[in-house]
């Protein structure tokens, strides 16, 4: 079920009413309802993969209990290994099987050995990359004794499958999220109003900004051979805005929805387009994934408390894995490599660490800050060429065509020219710029009817309702 | 909880109100603004005198026949009411709209490999959406799915669903007077350029079964005392099978291979301006030279 569908618009009020008015006084019943709702939500896409979620839940729940009881280090390692193997195994099979198979065959054929293999027609289960990371963090944290295993299976099921963030994050840590399933939830008017406004803001970013940019970006990327360099550069920027509007819009809807049920999810985006260096950008973009990699890969490798050379290696390892996490193809790995490279260059160049509000939120940026922000945006937008294209050849071909420096802008092969798009992107950036000390631009306990109404008007008037477009990160 | 529900209903109420207001605004624009479709033009015709003929069909009529040339050569007055991507459902609706205002002696209906289509065309139906609240229009569509009642009764939804062709951009264009001057060419729309590929046109569609919508059209016209003639416009290097059209339809003429040279085609199914002129002359010779 998609957040931007009529199905969800019906589903959400039903769950909300049942949650607060029917089972509102009983935490256990609320959890059972959430599990049921989450499974219905997920089965809207493909019910068969519910067994996968259930299997992952059972294994990690069991491993968690065993880890708590077991004192022997070797046994504890074995249990952790089972959990890691199960989670990574599921991910590996569904996401990476064909990639490895094809590359092994190619590698062997390079040495003159040929194999006859058939790739499997595997459907990637939506959200698998997200919930496997969430459950992995649970068992790892128990292993590290940062967390006690729960023996409440229903609460654990709800933690794994919580529908607002099941399919594309934010990736929650058990330490922060699981306790919320044990405490009594009370309806908080302010939180619910903020939740509604966050959903509206998310819908604005998805339906108005991302989906409109998507038609330009898709046309240019899918037919890049026909367009000039200037148009291809425009395609890069459209895609950068699209991916931001799409993913951060999704996260806003997820967090806003969770607020309606008195859950607090972790903020996943903090205005990344206003970052002044690459390191800052990654602290603001997909924060829960970045921090997952930091805590479970970067720190165990030694983090930055090792030699400069080793730190660079560690950073590169994290970014390569991050690239591979996004997609099972070389262009994603290369995307991770470039991002890592940029991170290293920018981090070692600049010693200054910017906070989230780097410039006074009530003023325009200085020329220097504007230049830095623009530079980071352009760099990150261009890395997305490897993210958007389907292969390395295509990505380099796209770049080669940009390097031809033909400056005329082409007439695109699309029917609808959204002349309002650029002003609307500017409206979004303007609202975000002056809201950097808030979680999102409409964040306020006051109803602020006028501001919210304007956003609703924009959604109705300029939103893309022609087809329900899937969120981009669902493919990961 | 009560104040939250009040807030939510306030937002929902506001949303509904905005949808109603926007629906009213957009519908008014599409009823009174500059013409963005032939439907708007036909409904707004001030001259109510009878004409000799109307030409009906898809883009193959829209770009293919020049009523001004027919009038210059024969003195017969008529209109080209061909609209892109229309099936018989939309054709029938447009004919009725025209007959609500004016009379015609003859209708010429273009038929081709699309003959068997028995439902509204997903693109051809879009210009009709602003008028769907009118029973006379709705009756043509309602039998083809529940979506039409949704478009009719959920305010503004049809303008969102078809935003590409009916959304804010189109409405503003119509409001600002940016429309088509159909009257100047009597409905004919010129198409420029010459076909790029010199190859046979082998469509997948064939004509094998009779389409009852055409029988309805014949019956309707008979009731109104209108003569109906069917024809197929030229194709470039056509290799399809439309032989059965002659057995399914009365007064049928096949012009599919009447224009052969590549320079007359904009693509394999559409004539360019030169081709339209040539085909109009052939059309005049066939239909108007025989009449007194």
What ipTM was reported for this prediction? 0.80
DSSP code of A365?
P
**Nearby residues of A152 by Cβ (< 8 Å), 6 or more positions away:** A181, A182
| Radius of gyration for the alpha carbons in chain B, expressed in angstroms and rounded | 21
Please tell me what DSSP assigns to residue A208: I
Q: Taking Cα atoms as reference points, which of B16, B69, B81, B78 lies closest to residue B47?
A: B78
Higher pLDDT, residue A445 or A302: A302
Confidence bin at A475 (pLDDT 50/70/90)? confident
DSSP A226: G
Q: How high is the pLDDT of residue A343?
A: 93
pLDDT tens digits for B107-120?
999 999 999 999 99
A240 has pLDDT over 90: yes
DSSP A55-103: HHHHHHHHHHHHHHH---HHHHHHHHHHHHHHHHHHHIIIIIHHHHHHH
Contact criterion met (CB below 8 Å) for A276 and A373: yes
- Crossing angle of helices A50-69/A73-91, nearest 10°? 170
What's the pLDDT band for B205 if we cut at 50, 70, 90? confident
* Whether A460 and B8 lie within 8 Å, measured CB to CB: no
Query: How high is the mean pLDDT of chain A?
Result: 90
CA A84 – CA A91 distance, rounded (Å): 10
Report which of residues A169 and A23 the model is more confident about: A23
Distance from CA of A396 to the nearest CA of B (A): 30
The position carrying tokens 């944290």 is: A141
Q: How many CB atoms lie within 10 A of CB A123?
A: 9
pLDDT at residue A78 in the model: 94
How is residue B123 annotated by DSSP?
Answer: T
Yes or no, beta carbons of B15 and A466 under 8 Å apart: no
Q: How confident is the model at residue B65 (pLDDT cuts 50, 70, 90)?
A: very high
**What is the mean predicted confidence (pLDDT) over A221-248?**
94
Q: Give mean pLDDT, residues B52-63.
A: 96
User: At residue A71, what are phi and psi to the nearest 5 degrees?
Assistant: -105, -30
Instruction: Note the pLDDT tens digit of each residue in A378-391.
Output: 999 999 999 999 99
Q: Please name the residue that has the structure tokens 């930091």.
A: A294
For B2-42, how does the pLDDT look when each residue is reduced to its tens digit (9 = 90+)?
889 998 999 999 999 999 999 999 999 999 999 999 999 99
With contacts defined as CB-CB under 8 Å, which chain B residues touch A417? 169
Cβ of B18 within 8 Å of Cβ of A192? The answer is no
% pLDDT > 90, chain A: 67
Q: Name the residue among A416, A417, A453 with its Cβ closest to that of B14.
A: A453
CA dist B228 → B77, B114, B195, B220, B276 (Å): 16, 18, 32, 10, 22
* Range scoring the smallest mean pLDDT among A84-93, A139-148, A356-365, B86-95: A356-365
Q: Chain A residues with CB inside 8 Å of B156's CB?
A: 460
- What mean pLDDT comes out for the span A31-48? 94
A169: nearest Cα among A91, A55, A254, A294: A254
Q: Give the containing element (helix H, strand E) for B215.
A: helix B212-224
Q: How far is A207 from chain B (nearest CA, A)?
A: 11
C-alpha of A404 from chain center = 34
What pairs with residue B56 in β-bridges? B109
Statement: residue A39 has pLDDT above 90: yes
pLDDT-based confidence at B196, cuts 50/70/90? confident
Query: Token pair of A335, please?
Result: 């995307």
Cβ-defined contact of B167 to A416 (cutoff 8 Å): yes
* DSSP 8-state code for residue A267: P
Spatial contact of A143 and A76, defined as CB atoms under 8 Å apart:
yes
Nearest to B161 among A419, A420, A465 (CB): A465
A:B CB pairs within 8 Å: 59
End-to-end CA distance of chain A: 16
Q: How sure is the predictor about B201, in pLDDT bands with cuts at 50, 70 and 90? A: confident
Helices (H), A223-329: 229-260, 278-284, 287-293, 308-326
For the stretch A324-380, pLDDT in tens is 999 889 999 999 999 999 999 888 776 655 555 555 666 888 888 899 999 999 999
Q: Which token pair is A92?
A: 């590996």
The 3-class SS string of B220-281 reads HHHHHCCEEEEEECCCCCECCCCCCHHHHCCCEEECCCCCCCHHHECCCCCECHHHHHHHHH
Closest Cα in chain B, distance from residue A245 (Å): 20
Residue A360, number of CB atoms within 10 A of its CB: 10
Q: Looking up tokens 């829209």, which residue turns up?
A: B62
Q: H-type helices in A144-228, by residue range?
A: 153-161, 174-177, 189-203, 211-222
Residue of B nearest to A215 (CA): B164
Q: With cut-offs at 50, 70 and 90, classify the pLDDT of residue A416.
A: low
Could you tell me which residues come within 8 angstroms of residue B241 by beta carbon, excluding any fewer than 6 positions away? B206, B207
Condensed to tens digits (0 to 9), the pLDDT of residues A172-213 reads: 999 999 999 999 999 999 999 999 999 999 999 999 999 999
B53's enclosing H/E stretch is strand B51-56
Q: How many CA atoms lie within 13 A of B256 on its CB side?
A: 18
Check pLDDT > 90 for residue B178: no
CB-closest option in B4, B18, B164 to A460: B18
Residue A444 has pLDDT above 70, yes or no: yes
* Count of other CB atoms within 10 angstroms of residue A449: 13
| Distance separating alpha carbons of residues B63 and B265, to the nearest angstrom | 10
- Angstrom distance (rounded) from CA B82 to CA B112: 14
Exposure string (b/e) for A187-210, b if CB count within 10 Å is 16 or more?
bbeebbbbbbbbbbbbbbbbbbbb
Contact A456 B8 (CB under 8 A): no
> Which residues of A are catalytically annotated?
326
Chain B residues with CB under 8 Å of A420 CB are: 168-169
Q: Is B32 left (phi over 0), alpha (psi -120 to 50) or beta?
A: alpha
Strand order in the sheet with B51-56: B78-80, B51-56, B104-110, B227-232, B252-254
Question: Residue B160 is nearest to which of A193, A200, A465, comparing CB atoms?
Answer: A465
- Cis peptide, bond prior to residue A170, ω within 30 of zero: yes
- The C-alpha of B264 sits at a distance from chain A's nearest C-alpha, in angstroms, of 24
Residues 188-227 on A with a CB inside 8 Å of B are 189, 192-193, 196, 200
Minimal C-alpha gap between B157 and chain A (Å): 9
Q: Are A200 and A383 in contact (CB under 8 A)?
A: no
Phi, psi of A455 (to 5 degrees): -65, -40
- What whole-number distance in Å separates Cα of residue A248 and Cα of residue A384? 16
pTM: 0.86
B8–A196 CB contact, under 8 Å: yes
- Measuring CA to CA, which residue among B35, B27, B40 is closest to residue B179? B35
Confidence tier at A119 by pLDDT (50, 70, 90): low
Q: Which contiguous run of DSSP H or E holds residue B108?
A: strand B104-110
Report the residue from A196, A415, A416 with minimal CB separation from B11: A196
Are the beta carbons of A466 and B165 separated by less than 8 Å?
Answer: no
The tokens for A88 are 């990574």
A-chain CB neighbours of B167 within 8 Å are 416, 462
Query: Across residues B47-72, what is the average pLDDT?
Result: 95
| C-alpha distance from B24 to closest chain A C-alpha (Å) | 13
A256 Cβ contact list (under 8 Å, min separation 6) = A194, A195, A196, A197, A198, A199, A200, A201, A202
Whole-number Å distance between alpha carbons of A182 and A147: 14
- Residue labelled with tokens 């002359």: B281
Among B4, B19, B156, beta carbon nearest to A192: B4
Eight-state DSSP code of residue B106? E
Chain centroid to Cα A145, Å, comes to: 28
Question: Which pLDDT tens digit goes with each residue over A273-329?
Answer: 999 889 999 999 999 999 999 999 999 999 888 998 999 999 999 999 999 999 889
CA nearest to B122, candidates B73, B162, B91: B162
Task: Tell me the chain B residues in contact with residue A199 when contact means C-beta distances shorter than 8 Å.
Answer: none
């Amino acid at each position: 079920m998609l957040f931007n569908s009529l199905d969800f618009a019906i589903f959400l009020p039903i769950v909300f009413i049942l949650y607060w008015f029917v089972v509102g006084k009983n935490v256990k019943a609320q959890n059972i309802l959430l599990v049921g709702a989450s499974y219905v939500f997920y089965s809207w896409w493909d019910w068969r993969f519910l067994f996968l979620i259930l299997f992952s839940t059972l294994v990690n729940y069991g491993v968690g209990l065993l880890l708590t009881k077991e004192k022997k280090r070797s046994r504890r390692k074995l249990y952790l290994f089972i959990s890691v193997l199960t989670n990574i195994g599921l991910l590996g099979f569904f996401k990476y099987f064909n990639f490895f198979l094809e590359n092994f065959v190619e590698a062997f054929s390079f040495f003159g050995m040929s194999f006859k293999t058939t790739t499997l027609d595997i459907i990637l289960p939506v959200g698998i990359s997200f919930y496997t990371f969430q459950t992995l963090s649970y068992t790892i944290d128990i292993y590290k004794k940062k967390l006690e295993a729960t023996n409440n299976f229903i609460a654990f099921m709800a933690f794994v499958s919580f529908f607002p963030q099941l399919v594309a994050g934010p990736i929650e840590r058990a330490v922060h999220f699981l306790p919320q399933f044990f405490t009594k939830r009370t309806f908080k008017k302010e939180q619910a109003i903020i939740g509604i406004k966050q959903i509206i803001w998310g819908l604005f970013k998805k339906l108005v900004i991302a989906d409109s940019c998507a038609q330009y970006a898709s046309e240019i990327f899918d037919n890049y051979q026909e367009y000039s360099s200037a148009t291809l550069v425009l395609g890069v920027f459209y895609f950068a805005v699209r991916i931001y509007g799409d993913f951060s819009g999704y996260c806003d809807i997820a967090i806003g929805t969770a607020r309606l049920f008195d859950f607090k999810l972790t903020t996943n985006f903090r205005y990344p387009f206003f970052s002044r260096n690459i390191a800052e950008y990654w602290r603001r973009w997909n924060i829960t994934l970045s921090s997952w990699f930091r805590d479970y890969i970067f720190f165990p490798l030694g983090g930055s408390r090792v030699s400069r050379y080793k730190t660079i290696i560690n950073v590169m390892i994290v970014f390569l894995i991050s690239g591979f996490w996004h997609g099972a193809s070389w262009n994603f790995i290369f995307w991770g490599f470039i991002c890592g490279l940029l991170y290293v260059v920018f981090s070692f160049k600049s010693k200054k660490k910017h906070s989230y509000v780097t410039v006074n939120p009530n003023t325009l940026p200085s020329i220097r800050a504007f230049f830095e922000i623009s530079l980071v945006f352009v760099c990150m937008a261009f890395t997305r060429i490897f993210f958007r294209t389907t292969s390395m050849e295509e990505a380099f071909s796209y770049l080669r065509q940009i390097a031809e420096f033909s400056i005329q802008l082409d007439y695109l092969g699309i029917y609808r020219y959204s002349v309002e798009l650029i002003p609307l992107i500017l409206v979004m950036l303007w609202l975000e710029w002056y809201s950097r000390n808030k979680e999102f631009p409409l964040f306020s306990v006051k109803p602020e009817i006028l501001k919210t109404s304007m956003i609703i008007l924009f959604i109705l008037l300029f939103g893309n309702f022609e087809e329900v477009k899937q969120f981009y990160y669902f493919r990961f | 909880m009560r104040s939250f529900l009040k807030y939510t209903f306030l937002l929902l109420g506001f949303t509904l109100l905005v949808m109603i207001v926007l629906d009213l605004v957009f519908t008014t624009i599409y009823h009174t603004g500059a013409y963005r479709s032939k439907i708007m033009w036909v409904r707004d015709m001030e001259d109510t005198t009878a004409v000799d003929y109307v030409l009906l069909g898809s883009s193959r009529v829209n770009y293919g026949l020049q009523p001004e040339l027919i009038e210059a050569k024969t003195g017969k007055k008529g209109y080209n009411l061909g609209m892109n991507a229309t099936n018989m459902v939309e054709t029938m609706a447009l004919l009725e709209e025209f007959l609500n205002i004016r009379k015609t002696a003859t209708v010429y209906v273009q038929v081709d490999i699309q003959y068997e289509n028995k439902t509204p065309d997903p693109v051809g139906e879009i210009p009709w959406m602003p008028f769907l609240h009118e029973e006379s229009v709705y009756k043509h569509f309602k039998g083809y799915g529940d979506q039409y009642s949704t478009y009719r009764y959920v305010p503004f939804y049809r303008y969102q669903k078809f935003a590409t062709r009916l959304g804010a951009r189109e409405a503003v264009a119509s409001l600002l007077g940016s429309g088509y001057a159909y009257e100047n060419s009597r409905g004919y729309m010129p198409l420029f350029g010459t076909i790029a590929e010199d190859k046979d046109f082998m469509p997948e569609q064939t004509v094998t079964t009779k389409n009852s919508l055409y029988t309805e059209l014949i019956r309707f016209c008979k009731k109104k005392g209108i003569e109906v003639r069917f024809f197929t416009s030229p194709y470039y290097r056509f290799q399809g099978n439309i032989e059965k059209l002659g057995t399914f339809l009365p007064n049928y003429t096949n012009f599919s291979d009447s224009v052969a040279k590549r320079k007359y085609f904009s693509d394999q199914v559409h004539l360019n301006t030169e081709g339209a002129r040539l085909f109009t002359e052939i059309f005049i010779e066939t239909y108007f030279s025989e009449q007194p």
